[in-house]
Structure 1
Amino acid sequence: MVQVLGQGRLVYGMQLPVQSQSSLFAESWEADAGARELAEIARTADRSGFAYIASCDHVAIPRRLARAMGTTWYDPVATLSFLAGVTERVRLLSHVAIVGLRHPLVTAKQYATLDHLSGGRLILGVGAGHVEEEFDALGADFAGRGGVLNESIDALKAALGQDEYPEHHGERYQFSGLGQRPRPAQERVPIWVGGSSPAAVRRAATRADGWLPQGDPRTKLPAKIAKLKELRAEAGIEAPITIGTIVEPLYLGEPDWEVGRWTLSGKPEAIAASLREFKAMGVHQIQIRFRSRSVDELTDQMAAFGAEVAPHLND
């Protein structure tokens, strides 16, 4: 059985900066950053009690979306593998892998190797994707991506288990008698589903070990969680599920620069009290992001969060 992350405690992780640089969320300093900064951030997360660090997935961005999304999207397997080598404890999350762009056996080979080499630290976050040109360029099915994702999850459950010769017989993918080693270090790699649409909530409830909502405001999250639990119960699934959320941007202390109207700032105790509201809703893990003007400011914020906010998340 895959356990709920945190086992009853509210835990925290973060999407890595630098590796994805959409104009919607990237800070200006990230444009000139690279491996050194990523390693420093990952080590800080490892020291500061972060449950995971996460990396996104896009293969290629069309010109029509480049202004908003940018074209800097590091490969998640390469990025997380690099960071596995400079950390010891923090888990490695793909948030999210667009698994419909690749055959499940290719995805399984990449991520099983990552889990094996990292000593069992992988969490495979998956999503449907939204860039049609990306699918078209790779010969993938954009119109049917929801069904592809559903079957891919089923295939990956088989391919990321402990059977050296996994089997799957589905509508789109069939494989048996094909051995893949190394096997994951974990008995079974946890699979989390990203997305907040009704289809994504149903997919998470009926197929996944975790749910990664995308941008749901606090006011709407309790109803979504209730629906998720309802669908899971209807499907007769008793195994626990890790429920997550992405919180508002954070800045510890009183900023002397413009951090944005939605940013939570102030004393650590006040920030912790605000974040505890998510635990009361039934959330198990929060994904946090800090406003920052440099990598040093970011790592200072991360370290302060681990030392001054995290101890109060479960008061």
Structure 2
Amino acid sequence: MATFSLQATPTDAASWAALARRAETAGFDALLAADHPGDVTSPFVALAAAAPVTSTIGLGSYVSNLGVREPMLLAADVATLDLISGGRARLGVGAGHTPAEWRAVGRERPDVAGRVRRCVAVAEAVRALLDGASVTVDSVELTMREAVLRVPRPVQDRIPLTMGTANSTLLRWAGAHADVVGLTGFGRTLADGHQHEARWRADQIEAQLACVAAGVGRPGRPPALSPHPPC
């Protein structure tokens, strides 16, 4: 069964609440908020405001930049949203493609491989924190010591995870670990640091799907339904 989500950002409280109610009434599966610090509203504050005026629609970020988000703070935001929404939180993540967002938090954007490693490390740490585990990581990309998310605890046993990417490594990781894979179609980053060449030809989409399929064969995942070119 096909489902549809709506991505938006608030401009004022009244219209945001009205939009959330309309999206739920129209049958959207989720209301999603972008996460670009400095350019859009805080996604989890906005989604928390949508929670009390809705009752069934999912609420999630699409996508949180794991290059500039710290695992403990992100896990606490998601778990809090899940708590106050009665178990409707979603989490969308990505590696972070905009240099200005890294510089704004005092970091220089790494190369592609560095961003991918950071994204996987943070995604795995957030998942472990939400699952109630103690997390210790000591790497170039991420350092955490005996981190435990004691309060709040999420309502859902597993908060649905979306990975938004066009990177082959992350697409394979998403095939193995994510509940939803968002194909961004991003190609080479252009000179402004924000826009990208698009990868939306049929063969390029098939290649991205092949990478997802390459990760799907882990235990507990269904096998790929159709053959794809090697990733």
TM-score, normalising length from structure 1? 0.60
User: Which stretch of structure 1 is more off in the superposition, 99-108 or 73-82?
Assistant: 99-108
Q: How do residues 293-308 of structure 1 correspond to structure 2 at under 5 angstroms?
A: none
Query: Cα deviations across residues 32-72 of structure 1 (Å, max 9, x unaligned)?
Result: x4222221111011112110011001113xxxxxxxxxx4x
1:230/1:132 CA distance change after superposition, 3 Å: same
Counterpart selection for 2:87 from 100, 111, 120: 120
- Percent sequence identity is 30
Aligned to 1:311: none
1:159 aligns with 2:141: no
Aligned to 2:212: 228
TM-score, normalising length from structure 2? 0.80
1:87/1:176 CA distance change after superposition, 3 Å: same
Aligned to 2:189: none
User: What CA distance in whole angstroms lies between the structure 2 residues aligned with 1:177 and 1:153?
Assistant: 14
Aligned to 2:5: 13
Counterpart selection for 2:156 from 183, 186, 191: 186
Partner-residue secondary structure (3-state), 1:231: helix
Runs ≥4 residues deviating over 4 A: none
Aligned to 2:26: 48
Partner-residue secondary structure (3-state), 1:114: helix
Query: How far 1:239 sits from its partner (Å)?
Result: 2.6
What is the number of residues matched between the two proteins?
A: 206
1:207/1:54 CA distance change after superposition, 3 Å: same
Structure possessing the higher relative contact order (Cα contacts under 8 Å, 6 or more residues apart): 1
Aligned to 2:178: 208
Between Structure 1 and Structure 2, whose CA radius of gyration is higher?
1
Question: What amino acid maps onto 1:117 in structure 2?
Answer: I
8 Å contact from structure 1 (residues 158, 168) kept in 2: no
Query: How far 1:170 sits from its partner (Å)?
Result: 4.4
Aligned to 1:139: 106
User: What CA distance in whole angstroms lies between the structure 1 residues aligned with 2:89 and 2:201?
Assistant: 28
8 Å contact from structure 2 (residues 6, 30) kept in 1: yes
Query: How far 1:237 sits from its partner (Å)?
Result: 4.0
As a proportion of its length, which structure holds more strand? 2
Q: How do residues 263-302 of structure 1 correspond to structure 2 at under 5 angstroms?
A: none
8 Å contact from structure 1 (residues 151, 170) kept in 2: no
8 Å contact from structure 2 (residues 78, 90) kept in 1: no
Counterpart selection for 2:221 from 239, 252, 259: 239
Structure 1 stretches of 5 or more lacking a match?
A: 1-8, 20-32, 61-70, 242-279, 282-315
Structure 2 stretches of 5 or more lacking a match?
A: 186-198, 227-231
**Cα RMSD over matched residues?**
2.4
